[in-house]
Amino acid sequence: MAGSRYSDLERPPLSEAALNRALVRPGSLWTGVTVVESTGSTNADLARAARDGAGEGAVLVAEAQEAGRGRLGRPWSAPPRSGLMFSVLLRPAVPVAAQGWLPILYGVAAASAVRRLAEVDVRLKWPNDLLIGERKLAGILAERADGAVVVGMGLNVSLREDELPVETATSLAVEQAACVDRDPLLRAVLREVESHYREWTAAGGDAEACGLRPAYLAACATIGRRVRVELPADRAIVGLATGIDGSGHLQVESEGERHTLSAGDVVHVRTAE
């Protein structure tokens, strides 16, 4: 059994067949779920598939990632089968200007699913990190690929305290969550994403009309707090995070001036309290 997929009985492998039976059906957003033992990056793999003409709804799950990354190329790693590392391929028929809401939508959906199933108080750090308290549970990365958008997520599930990559991270196991079974967690996240995505695209990408912006504000731990926004070239803004605008950009009031910041402008957002 040494070295096999079943050698760690506390971290069983995902069943590709079971996931497809549960998630792929006529009319579903999800057209196929592929589970691989290891890859460099599920986002990079699906981006290549998108450039080759792959259709919307492909899901790629890796039991381990060798070159997983977050925003700004930050590394994301975890022991095999200790978390959920997966990406989805979407081709939203909404104006390009509205597509900046997609990673925020994904964060709202994932937080809702994990909160419900794992019974933990998951909040969102702008733009879309999942937090429990002040510690990071999951990260989300969206990337464009020839007219498509690939959204990847890394969720810490069974990592022990000594396996966490940094002190500011956490996992569902560390938080003593009600569910640390990756299969139902993955199904719940993908179903919630599909529901939010349907509503958002039906509204033409209007985040206010479909309820996405209010849902995000209700779940966001950043809004209403004093923050330090670290920018490129060692610049920083310290002020009150007052809200997000119609494009999902963070609004910060500092010394009588309102700053509107996109995720691409920001290196870090930290609480300043």
> What's the average model confidence in pLDDT over 106-117?
98
Q: What pLDDT is stored for residue 16 in this prediction? A: 98
> What's the average model confidence in pLDDT over 156-179?
96
On the question of pLDDT at 163 being above 60, the answer is yes
On the question of pLDDT at 26 being above 80, the answer is yes
What pTM was estimated for this model as a whole? 0.93
Report the percent of the chain where pLDDT is more than 90.
Answer: 87
Paired strand residues for 231: 235
Is the omega angle on the peptide bond into residue 92 within 30 degrees of 0, that is, cis?
Answer: no
Confidence of residue 164 (pLDDT cuts 50, 70, 90): very high
Q: What pLDDT is stored for residue 2 in this prediction? A: 44
Per-residue pLDDT tens digits for 123-140: 999 999 999 999 999 999
